[in-house]
Structure 1
Amino acid sequence: MSIADVRKNTETRMLKSLETLRADLAKVRTGRAHTGILDHVQVESYGVMSALPNVANLTLLDARTIGVKPFDKKQLAAIEKAIRDADLGLNPSTQGDIIRVPTPAMTEERRKEMVKLVKGEAEDAKIAIRNIRRDANEALKKLVKDKECSEDDERRAQDDIQKLTDKSVAEVDKQVVDKEKEILTV
């Protein structure tokens, strides 16, 4: 293992942490409807649990309503039940061969709860990034101990990894600010 390998591994892991945060923030409800809030809903389809997007087409019917059109009409009842049981505060209703999922307007109190949730997700992401930095620094110390690089090279690499960490933490903060703005916009 070389300094370049440590740096590449660190960068890859930090990018994965940012992607995970982005995915987690997409699930947080805002005042508007978006199909992402139904992505993790599990539906029993022919004896197998499947994610909702795998068994139905999700579309926005209007600013506050999601349309769910099952690929197989026999799945209507199971999909409606799965959405209701997903504990998202949504109340779907079937109209013909489509399920309408209206998203209720959020109260000010609920918006503040969502902002707290977003900040918690951000803090988890920052902790993950700092843990990745720690792992990288330990790997660099091991390279010095095994005499595979000099202490000067280690110091330069640690500075490089700190810059990566700072950049990743700044990206987390930016994502949080954007999501807060989205949540608090009525």
Structure 2
Amino acid sequence: MDEEIKFIVDSAEESMQKAITHLEKELTKIRAGKASPNMVSGVMVEYYGAKTPLNQVGNVNTPDARTISIQPFEKSLIQEIEKAIQVANLGFNPMNNGESVIINVPPLTEERRKELAKQAKAQAEDAKVGVRNDRKSANNDIKKTDVSEDEKKNAEVDIQNLTDKFIDKIDSILATKEKEIMTV
């Protein structure tokens, strides 16, 4: 295989892998019945005038499947952390015991589970669009190369095989997440 073609195929595969990685990261933020520190990973706390990620101002733990505990590094941050969680609009009602902020994660209703499954589907669809865009970009790059038509066709077949492989991977990741969400 021509070096230029190989580079295009490898670049496409790398881009498609990034779409998978991004999807997995986004899906960890979607709640699936049990408490996880990732549920509050997007929360930003006002800390000395700057917006700071929650995990940089305290320890985030899950002592059990229904509780998230946030132990701030400075006790003066308890109110700020509670406020930040409410502002983030995650559907949680934080409480504090003077030492830490505690979030009781309520069990999901059937309606909420379906909503979360839709969110997961949307994330998966975005990832598929990304993979298809990578395929289109790679195919356009292949057309611009100075190699024989046969090599171009073979490279396009390779790109399509990669695309199919990554789309299947996205579907399997989604199926796993949907099962996780719908399990009571």
Aligned to 1:115, which of 108, 114, 117? 117
Q: Aligned with 1:67: secondary structure?
A: strand
Match of 2:158 in 1: 160
Q: Which structure 2 residue ranges, 5 or more long, are not aligned?
A: none
Aligned equivalent of 1:88: 90
Match among 116, 131, 134 for residue 133 of structure 2: 131
Report the Cα distance in structure 2 between the residues aligned to 1:72 and 1:7, rounded to whole angstroms: 50
Q: Give the 5 Å matches for 1:15-164.
A: 15-143=17-145, 147=146, 149-164=147-162
Return the alpha-carbon distance in structure 1 between the equivalents of residues 48 and 60 of structure 2: 20
Q: Matched residue of 2:91: which SS?
A: coil
Distance 2:5 2:139 in 1: 10
Kindly provide the CA deviation profile for residues 113-146 of structure 1, in whole angstroms up to 9, marking residues without a partner as x: 1111111111111111101100000000011xxx
- Letter aligned with residue 164 of structure 1: L
Q: Which residue of 2 aligns with 1:181?
A: 179
Aligned length: 182
CA distance in 2: counterparts of 1:124 and 1:63, whole angstroms: 30
1: CA distance between counterparts of 2:109 and 2:93?
17
- TM-score under structure 2 normalisation? 0.95
Query: How much has 1:96 moved relative to structure 2?
Result: 2.3
Identity in percent: 43
Letter in 2 for 1:130: R
Q: Distance between the aligned counterparts of 1:45 and 1:157, measured in 2?
A: 52
Per-residue CA deviations over 1:85-122 (Å, capped at 9, x if unaligned) read 11110001011211111111111011111111111111
Q: Distance in 2 between matches of 1:86 and 1:154?
A: 49
1:4 aligned residue: 6
Aligned residue type for 1:29: R
Kindly report structure 1 stretches of 4+ aligned residues shifted beyond 2 Å. Answer: none
One-letter code aligned to 1:54: Q
1:124-178: CA deviation from partner (whole Å, max 9, x where unpaired): 11111101100000000011xxx2x221111111111111111110110011100
- 1:13 pairs, out of 11, 15, 22, with 15
Superposed CA offset, 1:27-67 (max 9, x none): 11111111111111111111111111121111012110001
Match for 1:138: what amino acid? N
Please tell me the residue identity of whatever aligns with 2:85: I
**CA positional deviation for 1:4:** 1.6
- In the aligned structure 2, how far is the partner of 1:69 from the partner of 1:172? 36
